[in-house]
Structure 1
Amino acid sequence: MRAVLRFLASVMMVSGALLIADAGATLLWQEPLSWLLANRQQGRLEEALASPPQRVLDRKPLKGDAIGRISIPSAGVSDYLVEGTETADLRKGPGHYADTPLPGERGTTAIAGHRTTYGAPFRRLDD
């Protein structure tokens, strides 16, 4: 019985240490796992935009497609922009609201992005 209690105590101490380490990593690195996944998605978007089509098609981009790059040097933003604002789209990077004009078109373009998760592309906008 004593060995079982000692084992459970060890498991609980290790679990507590892991939870504290995760909280510290989250505070320091803004959700490291979601940052890693978002960074991987940014690489895929970069590949998609590396060889754009030879001619421009007169069509709306599909949800989740890379549509360009957003760069805000003063806020440290340099990410590929995707079409759509659903969770799956924003996991890839900042997303364009489909009911607003595309960047470069006449009108006001609206872009969504996270401050704390999925790579946190807009974490320094207020700095």
Structure 2
Amino acid sequence: MRYISIIIIIIGLGFIGYSGFHLWNSKQMEKEALERAESIISNDNSDAASFTPQFGEEIGILELPKLKKSLPIVEGVDEDDLAKGVGHYSGTALPTEKGQIVLSGHRDTVFRRLGELEIGDELHVQMPYGKFKYSIEETEIVSADDLTVIRPDLEEEMLTVTTCYPFRYVGDAPDRYIIYAKPMN
């Protein structure tokens, strides 16, 4: 019985160690991506028309002033992209373009505190060609398989931020938390 207890403790410590390493590694990747994004923003003077993001590259910074967070934005939303920060859903608009800008991130890394934001809070997006401010107008919770939140035919500029929900859920979350924000004048 004593040996079984020791084995269970070792297995538990292994899980804790693995989880700790995963969190540390995610923070390191996010930090490096943020440094690259800051460098791109400070060194690039391109305009919106000539800006052509490449998959997997840092393209900007999402600032959440209320949470005092700056997060790198990476082109694409596959696992490698989301491991670095917030992913820009390719094929959706970018700031200054008419249409919907869709940004997604993991609830257990970059968007851990996203639920603390409220209607009226600001979101800032820094791109190589400028800084853009948005105000949260609406939030909603939808099923994970509900793709109606992506609206390619939207006539006006809107920032949509998505993550899994519930925030503290263990495993694959059944829902998505959506924030809709409009440009501030």
- For each residue in 1:39-64, what CA deviation from the matched residue of structure 2 results, as whole angstroms up to 9, or x when unmatched? 22222332233311x44363531112
Larger radius of gyration between Structure 1 and Structure 2:
1
Q: Which residue of 2 aligns with 1:61?
A: 53
Aligned CA RMSD, in angstroms, stands at 3.3
Q: 1:14 to 1:75 in 2, by over 3 A?
A: same
Q: 1:64 to 1:20 in 2, by over 3 A?
A: closer
Q: Mean alpha-carbon deviation: is it higher for 36-45 or for 107-116?
A: 36-45
Normalised TM-score (structure 1)? 0.67
Q: 1:126 aligns with which of 101, 115, 121?
A: 115
Residue 97 of structure 1 pairs with residue 89 of structure 2: yes
**Partners of 2:77 and 2:19 in 1: CA distance:** 29
- For each residue in 1:31-90, what CA deviation from the matched residue of structure 2 results, as whole angstroms up to 9, or x when unmatched? 2222222222222332233311x4436353111222221111224431121211111211
1:113 touches 1:122 (CA, 8 Å); kept in 2? Answer: yes
**Partners of 1:80 and 1:13 in 2: CA distance:** 39
Q: 1:93 to 1:55 in 2, by over 3 A?
A: same
Residue 87 of structure 1 pairs with residue 82 of structure 2: no
SS in 2 for 1:80: strand
| Larger helix proportion of the pair | 1
2:71 touches 2:86 (CA, 8 Å); kept in 1? Answer: yes
- Structure 1 unmatched ranges of 5 or more: 1-7
User: Looking at both structures, which has the greater relative contact order when contacts are Cα pairs under 8 Å and sequence separation is at least 6?
Assistant: 1
Identity of aligned residues (%): 29
- Structure 2 unmatched ranges of 5 or more: 117-185
Q: 1:121 to 1:59 in 2, by over 3 A?
A: same
SS in 1 for 2:70: strand
